[in-house]
């Protein structure tokens, strides 16, 4: 058996945690439908990737179809149950995420045409990516969209910060009501002097 080296570690780390490759060669406009779930191993790997406490479930329904010459359209819906640490108390916080999206996937020859023409972006425009080959990794695309839905500042209901001996300071706490002064009070005193 050959000794393990650093290159093996890098290759192991570069494998997608949630891979569902789909060959789009010869795919028509009717497309193909897929339904799949993440395995326990995949969910644990994704939780490590996102630095969250856990990923309870991940269910995906999607359709891939040819949209026009050299382009494909992915329409997907996923449901995920995630567990994160509360940003204040560090207690577990569960959240259910449901996301529906569509993505245009363009062949390399379409990419060259798009690079030479002017690109205008619209917030209403659907996302697009360029294909490297005729294989689309639907699982990795879902993993990327899921990462965008995770709350970066999860908070347990009722968390006030006092659990850690701290209080979350609001704008109202900075100035007591007695200390609030009318900014024009000084001008009023000048008016009476003249």
Task: Give the global pTM.
Answer: 0.71
Determine the Cα–Cα distance for residues 71 and 65; give it in Å rounded to an integer: 9
Per-residue pLDDT of the chain in tens (194 residues, 90 and over written 9):
455 555 555 445 578 899 999 998 888 989 999 999 999 999 999 999 999 999 999 999 999 999 887 799 999 999 999 999 998 888 999 999 999 999 999 876 644 555 555 555 556 667 888 888 888 999 999 999 999 999 998 988 887 766 555 555 555 555 555 566 677 777 777 776 65
- Of 94, 89, 99, the C-alpha closest to 147 is 99
Alpha-carbon separation of residue 109 from 27, 113, 114, 186 (angstroms): 17, 7, 9, 71
- The reported pLDDT for the residue numbered 113 is 52
Contact indicator for 74, 138 with CB cutoff of 8 Å? yes
């Amino acid at each position: 058996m050959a000794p393990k080296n650093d290159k093996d570690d890098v290759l192991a780390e570069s494998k997608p945690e949630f891979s569902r490759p789909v060959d789009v060669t010869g795919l028509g406009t009717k497309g193909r439908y897929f339904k799949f779930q993440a395995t326990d191993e995949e969910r644990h790997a994704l939780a490590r990737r996102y630095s969250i406490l856990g990923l309870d479930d991940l269910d995906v329904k999607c359709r891939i179809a040819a949209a026009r010459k050299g382009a494909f359209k992915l329409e997907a819906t996923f449901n995920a149950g995630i567990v994160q640490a509360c940003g204040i108390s560090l207690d577990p916080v569960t959240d259910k995420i449901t996301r529906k999206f569509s993505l245009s996937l363009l062949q390399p020859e379409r990419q060259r045409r798009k690079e030479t023409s002017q690109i205008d972006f619209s917030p209403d425009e659907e996302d697009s990516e360029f294909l490297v080959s005729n294989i689309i990794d639907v699982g990795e695309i879902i993993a990327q969209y899921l990462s965008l839905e995770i709350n970066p500042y999860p908070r347990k209901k009722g968390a006030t910060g006092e659990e850690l001996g701290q209080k979350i300071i609001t704008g109202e706490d900075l100035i007591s009501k007695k200390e609030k002064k009318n900014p024009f009070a000084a001008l009023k005193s000048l008016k009476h002097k003249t």
